[in-house]
Amino acid sequence: MSLRWENLVDLHNLHGGLTVNLMGREPKKGYAVAVFPERTVIYNHILTNRRLVRFANDNADLLSDSRNYLGTWHDKSQNKHILDIVQVIPDLGDALNVARSMKQDAIFDLQAQVEIELKPLKDGV
């Protein structure tokens, strides 16, 4: 299946986000972790197909790697739409370690469809 850009914003709005690669594959298990925080883009109020395609084009170098996915998230409390390059990591412990090393606030459990906030470790890390 190839990626149908015109459907992605609808899916993002319906589910509050999505994780998809350039072939249109949406993983169903594992933990989505933003691994290139310097590439994160945040839009206020509205996400359009044009913005999504621009983000993908700007990050084609990373998205061409089969380990990387386009990750989106709608922060409804602030009405912001976040676009990230994510990797899906099968093990929760590994995902948490990677997220901490990337200074992320949360990861996403694809199977349970829930965000997992990272709590500081006892030594403050």
50-86 pLDDT, tens digit each: 999 899 999 999 999 999 999 999 888 888 999 999 9
Domain range annotation of the chain: 5-116
pLDDT tens digits, one per residue of 42-60: 999 789 889 998 999 999 9
By the 8 A CB rule, do 108 and 116 touch? yes
pLDDT (average), residues 1-25 = 80
CA atoms of 37 and 28, how far apart (whole Å):
23
CA atoms of 33 and 53, how far apart (whole Å):
21
Q: Quick one: how far is CA 29 from the chain centroid?
A: 14
Rounded to two decimals, the pTM is: 0.88
